Amino acid sequence: IFGIFFVVLGVAVIINSFLYPEVASFLWFCYWSLILLGIGMIFKSSYLIVMQLNVILIPLIFWNVYFFYQLLSGKSLFGITDYFFIGGVNSFGNVATLQHVYILPLAAYAVYRFGIRSRGIWIASFIEVSVVFFLSFFFTSIDKNVNCAFTSCFDFIKISGMSYSLLWFFSMFIMVYLVDYLMFKFFYIRT
């Protein structure tokens, strides 16, 4: 049921991003991860689920911290979730963006239920990250900064150009590998 819900929601937010391109780009990791997580849940593929968790787990933890800080305090923290609290934004987009809150526990539960039978999922995750980075970089604009491909999503990091791209890839590699290591350590099933 969750798998079907994630696929339908993922397709809906991608369609919504084409209808309202000024609000969000269809290339955001979280949109595609919804669909791929849903497919992984439908087919009980822990490989596909872990592949997505490797990519989104740490960024979504940060997103949730910022979101709940702003929700509870009424103050912005680094501007990451400001779009949610600005009036006049697409209401479906705001409802859909709440998936950031519940997607991690549901995906983690699915991995717990299915277990992990493969090693090296981080390689597929890093290939996905690389492809999405280049698509974001070459097919979106710097003012949208989709997937933080052009500049840091954190206002206090003032690096740009090739140095920033290298930092982005290094950071993503560390995050993907770390999450993959932890997933394997806690959910691997020896057959």
Cα 55–Cα 12–Cα 153 angle in degrees, nearest 5: 40
pLDDT band at 21 (very low <50, low <70, confident <90, very high): confident
In tens, the pLDDT along 96-110 reads 888 999 999 999 999
Please tell me the distance from the alpha carbon of residue 138 to that of residue 140, in angstroms, as a whole number.
6
Statement: the pTM of the whole predicted model exceeds 0.75: yes
Q: Predicted confidence band at 27 (pLDDT cuts at 50, 70, 90)?
A: confident
Cα–Cα distance measured from residue 148 to residue 175, given in angstroms and rounded to the nearest whole number: 15
> Is-contact 77 66, C-beta < 8 A?
yes
